[in-house]
Amino acid sequence: MTSLHPSAARENLLQSQPIGRRRSDPLPRLLVQLLARAGAPATVDRATSRPWASALFEGRRHVVRLLLGGPDSAARAARFADGLGSVEWALSGQFVADISLDNQGCDEGGQWLDLSILTIEDW
């Protein structure tokens, strides 16, 4: 993401790095942990992340689709979903405020899971 910083030098007005106290996107670290929880074979079909803010908090909203393959994919999908809201995710400087399984299904490749995740900066 490109950010505009009002006090940046003119030649460096557009930056692609975090500015000030803002942290980098936690999505890559979160994806690694989601895949570990899902077990192998699992892949990320798609993942998006966008800034989110309320009156008191800043963070990011993530939407992820995981694909779980293999003959035991249905059982692994059920284990993945079980207790998902109480999992402690290790995200330095951030925490998962909300995670939900929005949709799930199966196709010829196995099970797919659609997740929505809200991460908040931990000040």
Q: Answer whether residue 10 is part of any domain.
A: no
Q: Which two tokens stand for residue 33?
A: 């942990």
Asked if 68 and 76 count as a contact pair (C-beta separation under 8 A), the reply is: yes
Q: Is residue 77 part of a domain?
A: yes
12 found inside a domain? no
Please indicate, yes or no, if residue 11 is contained in any of the structural domains: no
Q: Look up the pTM and report it.
A: 0.78
Q: Above pLDDT 70, what percent of the chain?
A: 81
pLDDT band at 122 (very low <50, low <70, confident <90, very high): confident
The verdict on residue 84 lying in a domain is yes
In a domain, 36, yes or no: yes
CA 116, 121, 123: angle at the middle one, nearest 5?
155
Residue 72: domain span: 23-121
Res 10 pLDDT > 90: no
Q: What pLDDT, in 10s, does the model give residues 14-50? A: 444 555 555 678 999 999 999 999 999 999 999 999 9
Would you state the structure tokens that stand for residue 116, as one six-digit string?
Answer: 């929505």
* CATH code, 81: 3.30.2000.30
- Strand 42-53 to 3-4 pairing: unpaired
- The total number of structural domains in the chain stands at 1
pLDDT score of 24: 78
Residue 73, domain member (yes or no): yes
Cα 46 → chain centroid: 11
> Does a structural domain hold residue 7?
no
